[in-house]
Amino acid sequence: MSILPAGEIRKTLLDDRLQTAIYGSTGRLVGKRRESIDDPVAAEFEAWRTHANAIKRHTIENLDYYLEELERNIVKRGGKVVWCKDAEEAAEFVRRLCREKGVRRIVKSKSMTTEEVELNHEVEKDNIDVVETDLGEYILQLAKEKPYHIVAPALHKTRYDVADIFTKTLGVERETVIEKQTMIARRVLREKFLTADLGITGANFLVAGSGAVVVVENEGNARLSSSAPRIQIAFAGMEKLIPRAQDLAVFLKILGRSATGQPLTVYTSFLSGPRWPGEIDGPEEFYLVLLDNGRTKVLQDPAKRQALYCIRCGACLNHCPVYRKIGGHNYPWVYSGPIGAILSPQFHGVTRDPWLPHASSLCGACGEVCPVKIEIPKILLELRRDIAEAKEREGEDRVQQLAFKAWAFVMTHPKLWSLALTGAPYTMPEAENGWIRSVPGFMKIGPLAGWLSQRDLPAPAPKSFRRLWKERQEGRQ
Amino acid sequence: MSRDLILSSIRSSLGRRAGQPVPARPPVLLKIPEVPLARRIGQFCEALGKLNGKSLVAKNLEEARDYVAGLVQGRRAIASNAPFLGECGITSIPGVETGFTGRMALRERCATYDIGITSASFALAETGTLVMLSSAEEPRLVSLLPPVHIAVVPTSKLLTGLDELLTLLPDPAGHTSGMAFITGPSRTADIEQFLVRGVHGPGEIHVVLV
Ligand code: SF4
C-alpha cells in the first residue's frame, strides 16, 4: 500500500518555477478550449458531448461484440490482432516479433498505453534502439522521466531544462532558442525514422466496422512512424473502440477542441492494415496490440465502468485545481489528474493508493468539461465509499488513516488550501444565493465531516480575503 | 489463449453471451450544410490561412502551373503520380521529378528534396483540410518528408467538411490502406507551449485550388 507522497508534493508546491510552468500551461490550454467551443461553428458542442457519451456507452456495454467485429475486419485486410491480458504479454509479444524480424531500431509515437507496459524498458533489454519521436516524449526519454500530462507530456520543462538535457545527452552546443531546439530534434529524429525497421503508434480510436486505427497528432511523427518503417504495431487499450467511421465526425470535433482548442488537429491518420499491392510506401506488416491490463476488471462495476469512455483529451487535468498545484508526477500511475484518480484505483484496487480519490476538492470542474461526460466526481465518491468498505473488511483503520492524511495534508498546507478556495468561484457551480450546498470533498472526511454534512458554507467571495490581503501587502511595498 | 480469456471475462462482466446481437446503435450524427462553391473556397482559404498555410485560387490549369513553377524555381521537387498533376503540366516544370515506383528511390528523393507536390482526394472547407487517400498514385511520404508541401486540387473535390466526407466515404478502409487528413503545417508546442512549425512534417504548405 503506497502512502501519500507528502514530501514530494511539498517539494512541488514550494518550487515556484514549476508552479508557474504548470499553472501557466494548463491555464493556456483552458483558454484555448474555451475559445474553440465558443466559436459559432461549435454551437452544437453540448449535443456532440451527449452523442459521444451515448456512442461510448453503447460500445462499452457491448464491447465483446465490437472487439470481434474489429478483429474480423483487421484480419480481412491482412493485419493481425494480438490480444494481451497484461503488460508482460504485450512486452513479450513485441520482443518476440523484434527477434523474429531482426528489428534493430524502433520509432515510437506518443502512446499512453505503451507507458502502461513500460515498453521501452522491456525492449531495451534486447539492445534494441527504441526512440520516442513526439518532441515532448523525446525530451522526457532523454531526461529519463515519465509524462507529466497525457496530452502535453513535457509541460513542466522550460527551454533551459531542454537546453541542459540536449547538451548532456546529444552532445550538442547549448541552445536555448525553442525553434532551434525543435530543429535539433527534427534532425536527430529524421535519421531515426529513415533507419527504423518497426514503427509503434498509439490509437485514439479503433473503428470496429472498418478494422482501422485512428491516430491524431500535430507534429507528423505518428504519420512517419506508420509510413516509413516496414512493420507497424498500433498499441491500444481495448476500450478505444467506436462502432463506425462515421462516428468520427463527432469524436474528432470534440477531441481536438477539448485537448488543445483545435477544431481538428494537424494530422489525423486512419490506418487500416498493411499497404495494398502496388503501393510504394506504407507498412508491409500491420499488428494491433489490444491490451486488457485490468480493463476487464473495471468493466465489472456497472456504475464505474464509464471511466473507460475516456478519450484522453486532458481537459480534466487542465481544469483540476489539485492537478494544477501538485502536477503530474505525484500521481501513482501513468494517468494523472482526475482521470488518473478514478482509473488507478479501479485498475489496481482501492487499497493500493487510498489517498487518491480523496486528493480532490470535488469542485466538479472535471465532470463539467469532460467531452464524453464521464461523471468523474460521482465515481470519486463511490471510490471513497469502496475505500471505507475495504477498511471495514480489513477490520482496521489503516486505510482511512491514509485517506485522512491526504485531507489533513491539504488543510495544513496554506498554498494548496488557498488554491482550492481561489479556484472555487470559477469551479463551484453549486453555490446558490451565496451559499455552497456541496462542499469541497476533502472537507467531507476527517473531523469536520459530520458537522459539515448538516450545514452550508458561505460561498467564497469573488476575491478571497487571502487574496485581498496579499494584494494589499504587495501594494504597500 | 488470452483472446478467449479476455472475451469471456468481458461477457461475464457485461452479462452477455457469445454471439449475442447488440441493441440499436445511437444514430449517426452527420449534418451537411448547403454552401455554394464560392463560399466554400473562401472558407477553405480562411481556415488554412489562420494556420499559416498559403492558398491560391487558380482560374485555370496554366495559372496553377505558373504558381507552382514560381515556388519551385531553383529548388528540387518530387511530384506524386497523381494524373491531375500531369494534366496541369506540373510534372514538366524544370526541377520537378516524378514517376517513382520503387520504394527506396521514392524515399531517397522525399528525404532530400525541398518540395513535395501532390494532389488530394478531397479538401474540407470548414477546417482547411486536405484528405489524402494513399495509393500507388499518391504515396504517403511525398506530403510528409520534404519541408515544403504543395497540393494542387480541383475545386470539384472541395467538400463542406468532415460530415460530408464521411457521408461520401462511410468506410474509408474500403478505398485505401491509409487515409490522412492534413490541416495546416506540421507543428509542436511541446516546449513551454511555444508554437514551432515544421517539426517532423512540412513547415510550409501551399494549396492551389483549380
Ligand atoms: S476523463 Fe474526460 S476530460 Fe478527462 S481526459 Fe478523459 S475524456 Fe478528457
Instruction: Tell whether B189 is covered by a domain.
Output: yes
Q: What is the number of the ligand 1 atom nearest to the C-alpha of A307?
A: 1
Ligand 1 in contact with A252 (CB < 6 A)? no
User: Which among B36, B58, B76 has a CA at the least distance from the CA of B152?
Assistant: B58
Instruction: Tell whether B182 is covered by a domain.
Output: yes
| Interchain proximity B180–A223, CB inside 8 Å | yes
How many other CB atoms are found less than 10 A from the CB of residue B205?
A: 27
Predicted local confidence at residue A393, as pLDDT:
79
Distance, in Å, from the CA atom of B44 to the CA atom of A193, rounded to the nearest integer, reads 32
Q: Which of B20, B144, B169 sits opposite A224 (nearest CB)?
A: B144
B115-118: strand order across its sheet: B54-57, B204-209, B148-153, B115-118, B77-79, B96-97
Predicted local confidence at residue B198, as pLDDT:
95
Predicted local confidence at residue A430, as pLDDT:
38
Q: What is the number of the ligand 1 atom nearest to the C-alpha of A373?
A: 2
Q: What percent of chain B has pLDDT over 90?
A: 99
Answer whether B112 touches A (CB < 8 Å). no
CA distances from B16 to A14, A106, A134, B21 (A): 52, 39, 40, 9
Interface with chain B: mutation pick from A39, A262, A279, A280, highest number of B CBs within 10 Å: A280
DSSP structural state of residue B22: P
Distance, in Å, from the CA atom of A314 to the CA atom of A255, rounded to the nearest integer, reads 10
Give me the residue label for grid cell 512486452. Answer: A91
Q: Which of B21, B127, B134 sits opposite A264 (nearest CB)?
A: B127
Answer whether A61 touches B (CB < 8 Å). yes
Interface pTM, i.e. ipTM: 0.97
How many domains in chain B?
Answer: 1
Question: How wide is the angle at C-alpha B16 spanned by C-alphas B11 and B22, nearest 5°?
Answer: 115
pTM flag (> 0.80): yes
Instruction: Tell whether B117 is covered by a domain.
Output: yes
Distance A95 CA to ligand 1 centre (A): 32
CATH of the domain at B185: 3.40.50.10420
> What contacts A462, CB < 8 A, 6 or more positions away?
A425
Q: Closest residue of B to A227, CA-based?
A: B140
Residues of chain A short of pLDDT 70, as ranges, are: 1-3, 395-477
Ligand 1 in contact with A374 (CB < 6 A)? yes
Distance A307 CA to ligand 1 centre (A): 9
| Interchain proximity B200–A224, CB inside 8 Å | yes
Ligand 1 in contact with A314 (CB < 6 A)? yes
Distance, in Å, from the CA atom of B176 to the CA atom of A279, rounded to the nearest integer, reads 10
Residue closest by Cα to atom 6 of ligand 1? A310
> What contacts B69, CB < 8 A, 6 or more positions away?
B93, B94
Ligand 1 in contact with A312 (CB < 6 A)? yes
Predicted local confidence at residue A6, as pLDDT:
83
Predicted local confidence at residue A416, as pLDDT:
54
Per-residue pLDDT of chain B (210 residues; tens, 9 = 90+): 799 999 999 999 999 999 999 999 999 989 999 999 999 999 999 999 999 999 999 999 999 999 999 999 999 999 999 999 999 999 999 999 999 999 999 999 999 999 999 999 999 999 999 999 999 999 999 999 999 999 999 999 999 999 999 999 999 999 999 999 999 999 999 999 999 999 999 999 999 999
Instruction: Tell whether B21 is covered by a domain.
Output: no
DSSP structural state of residue A291: E
Instruction: Tell whether B124 is covered by a domain.
Output: yes
Predicted local confidence at residue A256, as pLDDT:
97
Q: Which of B170, B186, B190 sits opposite A220 (nearest CB)?
A: B186
**235-274 in A: which are within 8 Å (CB) of B?**
238, 243-250, 252-253, 260, 263-274
Q: Closest residue of A to B100, CA-based?
A: A280
Predicted local confidence at residue A406, as pLDDT:
59
Please give the residue range of the domain that contains residue B147: 35-209
What DSSP string describes A198-257? EEEE--SEEETTTTEEEEEESSSHHHHHHHSSSEEEEEEETT-EES-GGGHHHHHHHHHH
Predicted local confidence at residue A277, as pLDDT:
94
Predicted local confidence at residue B56, as pLDDT:
97
Instruction: Tell whether B30 is covered by a domain.
Output: no
Instruction: Tell whether B99 is covered by a domain.
Output: yes
Ligand 1 in contact with A79 (CB < 6 A)? no
The H or E element spanning position A116 is helix A112-117
Cβ proximity of A372 and A308 under 8 Å:
no
Number of Cβ pairs < 8 A linking chain A and chain B: 257
Write down how long chain B is. 210
Ligand 1 in contact with A339 (CB < 6 A)? yes
